[in-house]
Structures are given as structure tokens and as C-alpha cells.
Amino acid sequence: MRILLAFGVTGLISCNAEAPEKKAAALEPKVVALEAKVADLEKRLDENAKPTTQHAASIAELQGKVGWLETRVDIIEDEEGTLDPTLKAYAFVKTRAGNLLLAVDNVVPFGDGQKVTFRVGNPHTITFNGFTMKVRYGPREPSYPEKKFDIAVYNAWQASFREKELKVTESLIPGKWNHVNVVLAPAKPQDIGSLGVRIAIDQVSLLLGR
């Protein structure tokens, strides 16, 4: 006999994995502090009415850092897994029910977009009955001038991403790779250079012991 549970538990996450809430909470003070600095500099500019080049540069730098930290908070909270479709590798996607494995089988043109075939691996003994999948897609991460990380370049790259959300009714069978097809449109091949995937489980199914 199999029991369906509407998903609402959090205790199935691996014990050695740091809770995403703690990671997000650790970054929140940094975001607040940077936002306060930006507000203070903007206030000074308004008072002086003649912004200096130094002040303008400071504001731009701080705003870039705020954007980067906010992106990191979102990723931590959503537990996004990232993939390069050209690599034969897999990524971990953390959900409230535990870790899933994710890989890209292939990418082919489809209408005005691209059809991506994902493999979602369920390494657990639990059947997941349906889930919501959010896919962010964009070009490959750009190279940075002089091989130094540039927050402005990074934020511009992240801003170029688009997102698609879909409801998947098929079950994720335990101990198996499960195929999921997603059409991302409009998109050219170069627009699928980097993928970010988040998965939210709807229900879990367990066998009732005798």
C-alpha cells in the first residue's frame, strides 16, 4: 500500500548539508549594510547637488555588490543547480525533500527555440509525484578583463537570462534517471550556454510497512 504525502516537511534534507535559511541569513546583513551605504552616498549627492566622479563610481560599485549579493541570496534560498549544456556532467539540485541529480542529455532546435532534454536523477527510495521546474537560461559566462572578476560584467550577464516555469506531472522514480523535455523559446543555440534549474516537489509517495 502506498501513501501520498502533500509535501510540507523539511527534515529529509541531508544532515551534513547546511540549511539554506542559515546561508541566506548570513548574507542578509551584508545586503542591508551595502544598501545603507548606497542610500547614504545618494543622500550626500543630493545635498551637494554636484556629484563628483568619485562619489558616482562608489555608488556604482556598491550597487553592483548589492545586486551580486541579492543574486546569491536568491540562489541559496531556491537551491539552484547550474549546468553547462556542452559538458557531460551533472549538478545537484537541492529541494526540501533532499538532493536530486540533474544532467543535460541534448539540446536541439525546436520552432523558434531550443528543446532541452534533462535527466533528473532520484537517488532516494521515495517516489516524487509531480514537481515544478524553473529553468533560467542565458549565454555562457563572459570572460573578464585581465582575468579579474568584474561585478558589473557579472550583473549584466545575469540580467540577460530568461526564465521558464513548468509543471511536470510525471513521477520521479526512485533510483533512476527520469527524462524531462523543456522547450525554451525564443532562443538561439548561443542563448542556451548556461542553465540554472530549481525544482519544487509537490508530493512524495511511500510504501506502508506491514
Q: Per-residue DSSP letters for 19-52? A: PHHHHHHHHHHHHHHHHHHHHHHHHHHHHHSS--
Domain ranges across the chain: 20-78, 81-207
Which tens digits make up the pLDDT trace of 133-171? 999 999 999 988 877 888 888 999 999 999 999 999 999
pLDDT for the residue 146: 79
Quick check: 194 pLDDT over 50? yes
pLDDT for the residue 10: 35
Question: What is the model's pTM?
Answer: 0.64
Give the Cα separation of 208 and 186 in Å (integer): 46
Which tens digits make up the pLDDT trace of 69-110? 766 665 555 478 999 999 989 999 988 888 999 999 999 999
Region of residue 59 (phi > 0: left; psi between -120 and 50: alpha; otherwise: beta): alpha
Would you state the CATH architecture of domain 81-207? Answer: Sandwich (2.60)
pLDDT for the residue 5: 53
Name the strand (E) or helix (H) holding 63.
helix 53-78
Cα angle value 17/20/22 (rounded, 5°): 100
Quick check: 9 pLDDT over 50? no
pLDDT for the residue 184: 97
Give mean pLDDT, residues 175-195: 96
